[in-house]
Every structure is written in structure tokens, then in C-alpha cells.
Structure 1
Amino acid sequence: MEKIVPLALLLVLCICTIRVHAKYYSKSAPYEPVQEKKTHLRFFLHDTLSGNNPSAVQIAGPNTTKNVNDPTPFATTFVIDDPLTEGPEPTSKVIGNARGLYVSSSKDKNLTLVMYVDLGFTNGRFKGSSLSVFSRNPVTEKHRELAVVGGRGRFRLARGVVLVKTQYLNITNGDAVLEYNVEVVHP
């Protein structure tokens, strides 16, 4: 047994010092800057919390008594499947949908939402593409800016901003029509 221990240590030492021959496979190409495009989009998002067929549904809320005058108290979470249209009217041509969620994230009177939403286009020039928005949305501010953090399809690797303007808001039930002016840069 005494001879086996030094022999085992010698064997481990030999194995550790053996050179490993491996090839790293890669293909180098000269750097060519990607030509980026700037795209401007304008459309309207219809967020409906009321009625028999809402496009925004509350899935979680605070563990307190709800104030009737506040449709979105702190910690209220909604899942959305809002239509995107060419114009502010509900009868305007639908060009896509906004799917995701938003959370009421402010305790004070200035309603602020944190949103994750995928703006998917189902008609028109960008059919099959989408933009990913993940940002704070200070609803009570006149000028709001949301961050575009990515996209799919023709908007792959997109980055930019969404300037949001409220066209219509029913403060009783929370229904809203929002104008989205989007500026994105993408390959």
C-alpha cells in the first residue's frame, strides 16, 4: 500500500503535465461596418380595460382595499394584447398588436408604469417583425419616452425610442388610446 500512493501521485503529475493538442476552429473575416437604417413609425395603441372584451386584464393587485377612483393602484399588474392601428379611431386599420405586461410602480399620485411589451406587426411593410420595449412610463407626464431595447425580423438588433402621447383617456375605467411615434436604428 505504501508503494501505491507515490505511484498514484506520480501518475497524476504526469497526466497534468501532458500537453493537450487541440485546434480552435474559427474563420476570420475583415471588419465591415454594417450600414444601419433609421426608421420612423407612427401608430396608435388601444388599451381597453372595460367592457366584455378588454385588451388589458388585471392579473395581480395590491393586498389592500381598492380605491374606486384609481383603476391602477400601486402593484397592480396587467397583461395586454392591445391592437395597434393606423389611426386613433377604433375602426382604423389594425397593423399589429402590443403583447406583454405593465405594472403600476408608483406609490404617489403620479401614475407610473413599468412596461414590457412586444409591438408585433401583422400587416404592412413590417409584417412578421416586432419591436421590444422595456421601460418606465410616467403616464401623468405630457412628454413620455420609452426605450426600444431590441426586435425581431426586420428590426433585429433595433434600438431607439417611442415617444408616447395620450390621445384619449377615461380616468374612470382606465381605457386609453395612445399615439406612438417610434424612432429606431437597425441593420
Structure 2
Amino acid sequence: MATLIAAASSATMVFLMLSLLAVLDIASSSTDYGALPSSLQQVPSLLCPYNCPKENETRLHIYLHQYPAWPNVPKPNEVGVIMPSQPIGFGQIYVDDWFLTSGPDPNQNIVGRAHGYHIQAGQTVTSWYTSHIFAFENNGDWFAGSILQVLGIVSTNPSGQWSIIGGTGAFANAHGTINFSSSISSTGTDVIYTLDIHVFYTQESN
């Protein structure tokens, strides 16, 4: 009987040692970050089966001009399409054709247009949700004919940040941010936004 017990104990010890070694081996292999599992080694080729173009980065400093649909503005570049009588204008919608210039003067060096809309989306605070396509015109620059898709908020704060969520042409697959500051011109007929654009993009292969 004692012999059987001793044999069982020995078998149990051997089983426990083998189990411990197996656990240590699994833990060791799972923390080997230098080698990907074979099931994941093919992922890069699936995501990018050809020569992947590198991501580029560009910064632009330009100006955006809004001529609001105010009574004192003779030629506004926006129009109100929904004008409900709500506190602080909640629900108002304007369609925009603002324009972009390389300098603060609205009459010189137009480089593109901002096509889109802005909506007063705040019930208790001023919060204009804006969505625009920045369409760059044929002005001789390398990004002429390209677009950026821009989203953001304009509030009572004269400065803020918008998101770049897409693009085409030279700005294909764009993403990034636009820091802006705004002021009313000396004539009181337009709002000037100073834009610092920081954009990342991946030009598509021909």
C-alpha cells in the first residue's frame, strides 16, 4: 500500500512539474514582443499589398472671409435657409460660399472657397456647428484643385480649433487640425478668420 502511495505521489509531482514548465513556456512566448505570431505576420502585406506611399505633412497660413447676412452687408456670401424664432437663434441654418485668401486683404490673392453651412446648435449658448469643403483654386500653387473637408464649432470665443477629416487631390486621405482666430473688419461688414492649417496627407500613386 505504501508503495502505491509513493508511486502516486511521484506521478503527481511529475505532472505538476510538467504543468509548471508548460505555463512558464506560454508566459515566456506571450511576452516576446519582438516576434509576431505567425497569424499576424501577414497583416502588413494585407493592409498595404504594394509599395506604400509615405505620409506627408504641410502647414498653411491663410485667411477666411465671411460676409454675413447682416442688414449692413451689401453683398453677403452666405444665405439663411432656416430662420426659426428661437432663443439665441437655435436651429438657424446658413449656406456659405466664403472665400480664402493668402493675405488679410479680401480683395487680393484669392486661393479658394469654403463651401458649406453653419448651424446654431446651442440652445443656451452660441455654438455654430460648421461644415465646409475648402476648395483650392487654380492659383499656381501645388495644391490647386485639391480640397480639404473641415468640421468644427464657432462660439463667442474669437479663437478655436477645427478638424480636418478628409481631402482629395494633393491632400488625398487628409487629416489634421486648423487653429483659427477671428475678428470683425474695420468696415464692420466681414469677419476675418486667420487660419493656421496643420495637415497630414498621403498622395495616391498613379
- Please, what TM-score do these two structures have when normalized by structure 1? 0.72
Q: Distance in 2 between matches of 1:40 and 1:62?
A: 39
After superposition, residues 1-187 of structure 1 pair within 5 angstroms as 30=49, 32-49=51-68, 50=70, 51-64=73-86, 73-108=89-124, 110-122=125-137, 123=139, 124-135=141-152, 137-168=153-184, 175-187=190-202
- More helix per residue: 1 or 2? 2
- Structure 1 position 87, deviation (Å): 1.2
Residue matched to 1:9: none
Query: Contact between 1:88 and 1:167, CA under 8 Å: does it hold in 2?
Result: no
Q: CA RMSD in A?
A: 2.5
* Larger RCO (CA within 8 A; separation ≥ 6): 1
Deviation readout 1:87-130 (Å, 9 max, x if unpaired):
1122221000000011011122x421111100010022211001
Q: Distance in 1 between matches of 2:49 and 2:80?
A: 52
- Structure 1 position 31, deviation (Å): 5.9
When the two structures are aligned, how many residues end up with a matched partner?
A: 151
Gaps of 5+ in 2: 1-45
- Structure 1 position 30, deviation (Å): 4.4
Moved over 6 A (4+): none
- Structure 1 position 34, deviation (Å): 3.1
Distance 1:184-1:75 versus aligned 2 partners, 3 A rule: same
Which amino acid in structure 1 is aligned with residue 110 of structure 2? V
Gaps of 5+ in 1: 1-27
Which amino acid in structure 1 is aligned with residue 90 of structure 2? F
Query: Contact between 1:47 and 1:176, CA under 8 Å: does it hold in 2?
Result: yes
- Please, what TM-score do these two structures have when normalized by structure 2? 0.65
Which amino acid in structure 2 is aligned with residue 48 of structure 1? Y
Deviation readout 1:123-155 (Å, 9 max, x if unpaired):
2221100100123x1422244111100011111
- More strand per residue: 1 or 2? 1
